[in-house]
Amino acid sequence: MVSKHRTVGERLFDGFNYIALAAFALVAALPFVYMIAGSFATEAELTERDFFLIPRDWSIAAYQYIFSSDTIFRSIGVSVFITVAGTLTNLAFTLTMAYSLSRKDLMGRRLFMNMIIFSMLFSGGMIPGYLVVKELGLIDSYAAVILPGAISAFNLIIIRNFFQQLPPGLEESARIDGCTELGVLWRIVLPLSKPVIATFGLFYAVGHWNNFFSALLYLNDHKKWPLQVMLREIVMLSQLAVGDLSNMDPNFVTPPDQAVKMAVIVVGTVPILCVYPFLQKHFAKGVLLGSIKG
């Protein structure tokens, strides 16, 4: 595909290209490395050295500090709960609706589809949304964080299109064999949709893990706050009194603010990094699915 005679200019360009893209990749990755390094560094090193990727002297004081009380543990637990319960809710609502709307002869199908598409274009806004949740009595409950986002119209449409593409023969024969609609969904369609379910399950799950604002808006009890809200409190609002020093060795020196902040950031980032290989595989596919179907 490439001409064998590359001019000097082209070689120069190639060289710059590799350097530029390598630089870009490093800019994307280095902040994380620095966070990890800084969270394991001693106070002396943080004040002395400007920027480092590997600490000279390792110290786990920051982590000891942030885990010395159950504040961080609890917010991690909350985040896990919201992610799991939220994703299951998402899938339950989205898959059932997508399946029923994939039946082309469903009466009222066009009306329902228009309703969904219109909701993507116009919304009541934050305040009416808040008031609805308030009227339902859901303020300060996890339902307020999970329910308002139960279905993403965008995901719904893509999944519906996917169901529509499944060979009709399979469902016909199942129905002839006496299978109910529910049975067809459960035994035939869903098993065939595993990659799609995995992809969108991951979409939803990452959204829940990263969710910050609706938790801030609807949850007043600090004990109910997920990790992202806690993260913001500690790093950006400098509410650093997270640890419980009474649980620690009396000689324990409170680690420097920067190290504590970096440790909390690392704790918030590591789960995503662990799941990243799966994310990369499924998300890229999902984006392409979406762009082709449109």
Partner 1 sequence: MKPAWAVRLRRDKWLYILLLPGLLYFIVFKYLPMWGVAIAFQNFQPFVGFWNSEWVGFEHFRVFFSNPDFTRLLRNTFLLAVYDLVFFFPAPIIVALLLNELRIAIFKRLVQTMVYVPHFISMVIVASMTYVFLTPQGGVLYELIAQLTGAKINFLSDPDWFRPMIILQIMWKETGWGTIIFLAALASVDVEQYEAAIVDGASRLQRLWHVTLPAISHVIVILLILRLGNFLDNGFEQIFLMTNSLNRSVADVFDTYVYFVGITQGAFSYSTAIGLFKSVVGIVLIYGSNWLAKRFGQEGLY
Contacts of partner 1 in 38-77 (CB under 8 A): 38, 46-47, 50-51
Amino acid at the residue 278: F
Site string for partner 1, 16-35 (x = CB under 8 A): -xx-xxx-xxxxxx-xx-xx
Q: Which residue has the tokens 């504040």?
A: 71
When asked if residue 127 is in the footprint of partner 1 (CB under 8 A), the reply is: yes
Q: What region does 244 belong to: left with phi over 0, alpha with psi -120 to 50, or beta?
A: beta
Stretch that binds partner 1, among 68-76, 122-130, 193-201, 244-252 (CB under 8 A): 122-130
Between the CA of residue 146 and those of 1, 57, 133, 154, 287, what are the distances in Å? 51, 43, 11, 17, 24
- Closest approach, Cβ 14 to partner 1, in A, equals 7
**Residue of 181, 220, 222, 247 interacting with partner 1 (CB under 8 A):** 181
Candidates 53-61, 67-75, 178-186, 244-252; binding stretch for partner 1 (CB under 8 A): 178-186
133, HSE (Cβ side, Cα atoms, 13 Å): 24
When asked if residue 81 is in the footprint of partner 1 (CB under 8 A), the reply is: no
User: Among residue numbers 250 through 289, which ones bind partner 1 (CB under 8 A)?
Assistant: 257-258, 261-262, 264-265, 268-269, 272-273, 276, 279-280, 284, 287-288
Judged by CB under 8 A, which of 128, 137, 173, 220 binds partner 1? 128
Among 99, 142, 200, 204, binds partner 1 (CB under 8 A): 99
Which structure tokens are listed for 112?
A: 């329902």
The neighbouring-strand residues paired with 41 are: 58
User: Is residue 78 within the footprint of partner 1 (CB under 8 A)?
Assistant: no
Q: Which residue has the tokens 């060289």?
A: 15
Please report how close the Cβ of residue 275 comes to partner 1 at its closest, in angstroms: 8
Helix, strand or coil, per DSSP, at residue 41: strand
Is the Cβ of residue 135 or residue 249 nearer to partner 1 in the bound state?
Answer: 135
Q: Does 206 bind partner 1 (CB under 8 A)?
A: yes
Residue 201 to residue 116: CA distance in whole angstroms: 20
Q: Which tokens belong to 155?
A: 């995901």
114 binds partner 1 (CB under 8 A): no
CA-CA-CA-CA torsion for 98, 104, 106, 107, nearest 10 degrees? 120
